[in-house]
Amino acid sequence: MGYLNGGKDQSMKERSRTEYSLINIFTGLLGYGLNTLVGFICRIIFVRTLSADYLGVNGLFSNILSMLSLAELGIGSAITYALYKPIAENDEEKIASLMQFYKKAYWFIGTIVAIAGLLLLPFLDLIIREPPDIKENLYLLYLLFLFSSVSSYFYSYKSSLLTAVQRNYIVIGYNYIVTIVQSIFQIAFLLLTHEYISYLLIQVVGGLVYNIWISYKASKDYPYINKKEIKPLSKNEKKELFINIKALTVNKLSGVLVNSTDNIVITFFNGVKTVGFASNYTLFSSILNTLITQIFNALTGSVGNLIASSDKKTQYGFFKILNLANFWLYGWAAIGMTFVSSDLVQLFYGEQFVMGLKIPLILALNFYSIGMIHASYTYKSTMGLFKYGQYILIFTGILNILLDMILGKFLGVFGIYLATLISRLLTNLWYEPYAVYKHGLKKNPAEYFIRQILYAIVLFLTGLVCWMLCRLCNFGVIINILIKIVICSVIPNVAFCICFWKTEELQYLLERLKDIIGKIIRFRR
């Protein structure tokens, strides 16, 4: 089936879902690799030239603005889902109508975020009870963060169209080009000035450049979305959108309460400096999560097309493949995080930043819990199952806040991260796949949970072997890192191969891997 394309990209119409997915994945991984390398160097220089207080401020304000992004209300996901059908039918009029609605909604949202952000200014002192040891004005820094967040709403909405037509490689490519250039300038200014304000201003400008650039690209390739006379959506179409938006709003609220409150609670109980210490560890989980997410995000458009054009058997078969890939990547990464991250912190930031094993362990478990619902979430969003589980997710957020306050008081930073894990285990970690199986795939959810238990057992035993071997590493920090990376790469992959070799899912993945390697070899020749 061909895909809607515009401008000079008409030659891509006949590309298959697989080809689009591969382009998106390779673009994402290549860009992310370069971006991570430059960003990591920038982070090291940040830590070496500025204090842990600056790390804490950076993490805290990022969390606050993430909470304000609740105003987005899930409109982006609802619009992206709504775009799949008209794109498959080459219905330019309907696409233009959806994008016009999207534009008006995002301009309204940007205004709301700006107002809410300004109203929060007087309450910063309540969150930051002990002022950090920095020379810049906290309120000025916060306003710069706020401006960066608000400005994105007025331009970035057009990226959803590029994602929906499976051209996410453009979105990814533009993002990484800007981010890499931005990081290079930040490194230079940190070394020359040792000023956080310069670092932040470059970040604000970089975000603005990216948003304007991606907006221009979408407008150029799909000029019909900018026509003056665009037919508005009908009342029924708006009603259907609002039903999905309502459900996604609840999902969004839950995500904010679970994922964007940890640094705020840590600041409340332990001070902003502790946020800086913990952020060195969360950086590794963020890097790994973003890396793997590149793969799954690259598949979203293709899965959306698969859902729109195939039967339940095909959808179910691909879900199992996606789920195994999900476990493999996140399980492997979680083991590596647990046993290597402290050594990396010591090497790059200094021994004074090292925290006990329980911190990387609980972060790895949280990382794994988030990762294991990726496949379910991809299917849930592309199937339009937004309304299912919306209220149980609210319970997830409320439970997380309550457990944060209780466990944070008695167990400190570890307790706050443990609260997040417990709240996920009791709610959306099981309900997301349940909704996909029962209402989307029309299958018995028990099959999924049995498989997840098997995955957990395999992961536990594999992690135990890795822990026993890593304990024997008593060399210099660099040698320890190299040996542990080998242990945490070889053992999990060998174990996973042995356990799942005979499954259809693994054989399918291996066949696709052979195809990819073959294409790369032919290309190099």
For residue 403, how far is the Cα from the chain centroid? 24
C-beta separation of 286 from 259 below 8 A: no
Report pLDDT for 3: 33
Q: Which two tokens stand for residue 521?
A: 């070899």
Residue 399 falls inside a structural domain: no
Q: Closest by alpha carbon to 298, among 15, 495, 17?
A: 17
Residue 386 falls inside a structural domain: no
CA atoms within 13 A on the CB side of 93: 5
Report pLDDT for 451: 92
Q: Closest by alpha carbon to 177, among 30, 348, 375?
A: 30
| pTM of the shown model | 0.65
Count Cβ atoms within 10 A of the Cβ of residue 266 and give its class: 0-12 exposed, 13-18 middle, 19 or more buried: buried
C-beta separation of 49 from 41 below 8 A: no
Report pLDDT for 84: 75
For residue 438, how far is the Cα from the chain centroid? 26
Q: Which helix (H) or strand (E) holds 27?
A: helix 17-49
Report pLDDT for 1: 34
Write the DSSP string, 419-446.
HHHHHHHHTHHHHHHHHIIIIII---TH
Q: How many helices (H) and strands (E) does the chain have?
A: 20, 0
Report pLDDT for 522: 63
Straight-line distance from the first to the last Cα atom of the chain, in angstroms, rounded to the nearest whole number:
30
Q: Which two tokens stand for residue 9?
A: 């990209």
H helix intervals, 222-271? 235-259, 262-270
Q: How far apart are CA 367 and CA 289, in angstroms?
A: 7
Q: How far apart are CA 89 and CA 24, in angstroms?
A: 22
- Entry field: residues in the chain: 525
Q: How far apart are CA 31 and CA 38, in angstroms?
A: 11
Angstrom CA distances, 503 to 5, 124, 267, 291, 460, stand at 37, 54, 47, 26, 20
C-beta separation of 346 from 376 below 8 A: no
Return per-residue pLDDT of the chain as tens, 525 residues. 333 344 444 333 434 555 655 666 666 666 667 777 787 788 788 878 887 778 777 777 776 766 665 544 556 666 777 777 788 778 888 888 888 888 887 788 788 888 888 888 888 777 776 777 777 788 888 888 888 888 877 776 777 788 777 677 787 788 888 888 988 898 899 899 888 888 889 988 998 898 889 888 888 888 888 887 888 888 887 777 777 666 666 666 666 666 666 767 777 776 666 766 777 787 778 778 877 876 776 666 667 667 766 778 888 888 888 889 889 999 999 999 999 998 988 887 778 878 888 889 999 998 998 888 888 888 887 777 767 766 776 777 788 888 888 888 888 888 888 988 898 888 778 888 888 888 888 888 898 999 999 999 999 999 999 999 999 988 888 999 999 999 999 999 999 999 999 888 888 888 877 776 676 566 555
Q: Go through 458-486 and write b for each residue having 16 or more CB atoms within 10 A of its CB, e for each that does not.
A: bbeebbeebbebbeebeeebeebbebbee
Residue 186 falls inside a structural domain: yes
**Domain span at 155:** 15-261
Residue 458 falls inside a structural domain: no
Q: Which residues have CB under 8 Å from 45's CB, separation 6+?
A: 187, 190, 191
Q: Which helix (H) or strand (E) holds 5?
A: none
C-beta separation of 159 from 83 below 8 A: no
Residue 129 falls inside a structural domain: yes
Count up the domains in the chain and report the number. 1
Q: How far apart are CA 222 and CA 226, in angstroms?
A: 8
SS (H, E, C) 214-240: HHHHHHHHCHHHHCCCCCCCCHHHHHH
The neighbour count for residue 70, using CB atoms within 10 Å, is: 19
Report pLDDT for 322: 87
Q: How far apart are CA 284 and CA 305, in angstroms?
A: 33
Angstrom CA distances, 483 to 261, 334, 467, 486, 492, stand at 36, 17, 12, 5, 14
Residue 231 falls inside a structural domain: yes
Q: Which two tokens stand for residue 279?
A: 């952020």
Residue 135 falls inside a structural domain: yes
Report pLDDT for 12: 38
Q: How far apart are CA 388 and CA 372, in angstroms?
A: 18
H helix intervals, 120-158? 124-127, 138-153
Residue 358 falls inside a structural domain: no
